[in-house]
A and B are shown apart, each in its own frame.
Chain A
Amino acid sequence: MSPLASFAAGIASGTIRVVDLTHTLDPDFPVIILPPEFGQCARFRMEEISAYDHRGPAWKWHNISMSEHTGTHFDAPSHWISGRDVPNGSVDEIDPAAFVGPVCVIDCSDGAAQDDDFELTVDGITAWEQEYGRIPTAAWVLMRTDWSKRRGAAYLNMREDGPHSPGPTPDAIRFLIEQRDIRGFGTETVGTDAGQGSHYTPPYPAHYYLHGAGKYGLQCLNALDELPATGAVLVAAPLKIKNGTGSPLRVLALVEDT
């Protein structure tokens, strides 16, 4: 059997499961909040065009609106100032082969349960590698925190000094890029950076280093607890938006039952 035929057979038989890592696009799903002087991320909105009525008797459809960075979404290199000159840095220019690839999941859920500001460090990454092996080149690395199970105000966890949610340290993200040449980094929180990420040097290090190096981001991922530490394949194809800096998308993981 050819690889694709055996892949299709695996899906059909259920030995390869398709796991949905996407939150529902819901008007009430949190988006990142910036100081009010700055431009803001549009929430997801849906307006009825017709619903089998006088506006269109046999059909129902909606107009939708949102930001490129609303809901479960993909960040392209051109999203950040460090990636503004990266070749093929917008979602419409990225080689579609980059949208399918292996994925490593670093489980930080215990730490995040103890500490809202839990940091993924270089030590944390190397400890994971001792157990599961070296992160392969061009892999997605996802930081599992079980943050996707939080609802309402607990998700952004906004306080008077800003949001509090886990994320990687500047050194950890540089390690993943420079030593492991990852494809991209993903989180269950509203951004690839920690809630307090503006206080690192540089501010928002995940955005700064990832996109400057032409790597990608995934955020607001759901249900990372359903993935194995290694061995799954991620399918994460953003919409083909001209000069788009990101896109809401359906993120799927293919998981082989062993």
Chain B
Amino acid sequence: MTTPLQPPPKKDPQKRSTAPTRPPEMRSRAAMHLTAAAAEGRFALQCCLECGAVQYPPRDACSSCLSTDFEWRDMPPGGTLLAETTVHASPRLFYRERMPWRAGTVQLDAGPTVLAHIHEDIAAHGRVRIEARLDQAGQGVLLALPETPTPHQEDAPLMRALSADPKHRRILITDARSPHTPALAKALQDAGAAMIFAGEPESWRPYPGRAALDALGVEVLPMDVTDTASVQKLAGEIGGKTDILINTAQMLRPGGVLERGDTAFARDEIEVNYLGLMRLAQAFGPGMCARVSDGVNSAAAWVNLLSVSAMTNAQPFGVHSASQAGAYSLSQSLRAEFRPSGLRVMNLFFGPTEADDWYQPLPPPKVTTNALARAVVDGLQRGLEDVWCGDIAQDIRERFRRDPKVLEREMTMGGDGP
């Protein structure tokens, strides 16, 4: 069993905060597919389409038949620890600060032998379960976990480095008025979050979720993502102890370009969904980036809740979809800008939700607030970059992967006349 992680003591104000350091980032283009799968929490390896060999590490040609035709397939996670070492000396700052570090080779049930980070609870030659995770350089690495979970296994330093676990962390949910905020706050509390803040725009307007937030003990503080000064003010107050930021601010109205007839709601959508994200990042981003190695409650992740219409325009929400595409692109810029610090950006893509009034005329399946909250917590605990929440989001992701143009054509049908 792992020694349970204790809530961190208050910081010594005379000590300099540890600057973030990172494991090596460079990978071959072939190896990037491992990262792409890990970003979604999948463990995939390179499979030769000619001879069927599964190979590791990834290469440009098959080591059995020299074919260059590959497919990345999800692998069964089982394996056995073959050989291991514990690193006590390293020229790499990231590892020097975290030694001793356990690494080893695992014989996969699927065939290949892989190099993996080894959890402390695995016995020599023991059975393991392999997960692909993103490390603090944002690259896919393999993690060997005990075959059956051990008590507090998620508290191991290795696990903290390969996740953005909300346990003992302080979390800002940016919009208290979002119908998802109470369920999200509850799920984060259940996952061990130390403190939850929620930004409240327009306190002069009552809303049903406020009582639930008060009952949960959420610290509700004024902030409106469309008001730069209010965002800067809250960042000034709590930016130094925001470990995870979850952006729930969302402006949504139905309608395409012609149906809308004006640009007023589109401007509001851009103000909240795109510029709001930008204001939050400008105010909270630098402080969070500086605190990625700041102990148990270090800054860990930035979470955006995006409609899956960010990936392909979805009627009857055509104009809103454009704001989501803009926010998605901005989140990619944030990934690049946060990369040097190791601060993660997790995008949670969701289909129509039960809680949002504007999706009321749409048929099921719809995402419940509880499912969405669970997906956020699970994504943080596994350190994911992309989470697809609900049947519709997963369907769009699958069709996008197969052929974005086919998906676009299917999503933009004109309908046959009489």
Identify which of B204, B228, B268 contacts A30 (C-beta below 8 A).
B204
Closest chain A residue to B204, Cβ basis: A30
From 30 to 57 in chain A, residues with beta carbon under 8 angstroms from any chain B beta carbon are: 30, 33, 36, 39-40, 43, 45-48
A46 touches B229 (CB 8 A): yes
Identify which of A28, A36, A155, A159 contacts B222 (C-beta below 8 A).
A28
CA distance A119 to B265 in the complex (A): 35
B206 touches A158 (CB 8 A): yes
Mask, A174-195, CB within 8 Å of B = 1, is: 0000000000000000000000
| Contact flag A152-B204 (CB < 8 Å), given A27-B227, A43-B226 | yes
A156 touches B204 (CB 8 A): yes
Mask, B197-232, CB within 8 Å of A = 1, is: 000001111100000000000000010101111100
A45 touches B204 (CB 8 A): no
> Count of A-B contacts with CB under 8 A?
44
Q: Does A153 contact B (CB under 8 A)?
A: yes
B232–chain A nearest beta-carbon distance, Å: 10
A45 touches B202 (CB 8 A): no
CA distance A159 to B204 in the complex (A): 12
B203 touches A27 (CB 8 A): no
CA distance A152 to B202 in the complex (A): 8
Interface range on chain A (Cβ under 8 Å from partner): 10 to 19
From 142 to 164 in chain A, residues with beta carbon under 8 angstroms from any chain B beta carbon are: 152-153, 155-156, 158-159
CA distance A168 to B172 in the complex (A): 45
Residues of B near A153 (CB, < 8 A) are 203-206
A28 touches B264 (CB 8 A): no
Identify which of A36, A40, A48, A155 contacts B204 (C-beta below 8 A).
A155
B208–chain A nearest beta-carbon distance, Å: 10
B205 touches A45 (CB 8 A): no
CA distance A47 to B268 in the complex (A): 15
A27 touches B204 (CB 8 A): no
Residues of B near A152 (CB, < 8 A) are 203-204
Identify which of A27, A39, A46, A158 contacts B205 (C-beta below 8 A).
A158
From 219 to 252 in chain B, residues with beta carbon under 8 angstroms from any chain A beta carbon are: 222, 224, 226-230
B119–chain A nearest beta-carbon distance, Å: 49
B202 touches A28 (CB 8 A): yes
B313–chain A nearest beta-carbon distance, Å: 22
B74–chain A nearest beta-carbon distance, Å: 43
Residues of A near B268 (CB, < 8 A) are 40
Closest chain B residue to A152, Cβ basis: B204
| Contact flag A39-B264 (CB < 8 Å), given A27-B229, A47-B228 | yes
B230 touches A27 (CB 8 A): yes
CA distance A159 to B268 in the complex (A): 25
B54–chain A nearest beta-carbon distance, Å: 54
A62–chain B nearest beta-carbon distance, Å: 10
Identify which of B230, B253, B357 contacts A28 (C-beta below 8 A).
B230
Closest chain A residue to B357, Cβ basis: A36
Residues of B near A43 (CB, < 8 A) are 202, 226-227
Identify which of A28, A48, A155 contacts B228 (C-beta below 8 A).
A48
A-B contact pairs, 16 of them (CB 8 A): A27-B224, A28-B222, A28-B230, A33-B205, A36-B253, A39-B262, A39-B264, A45-B226, A45-B227, A46-B228, A47-B228, A48-B228, A152-B203, A153-B203, A153-B204, A158-B205
Counting from the closest, the 3 A-B pairs by CB-CB distance are A30-B204, A27-B227, A152-B204
Given contacts A28-B227, A39-B265, 6 further A-B contacts (CB under 8 A): A28-B202, A39-B264, A40-B268, A46-B228, A153-B204, A153-B206
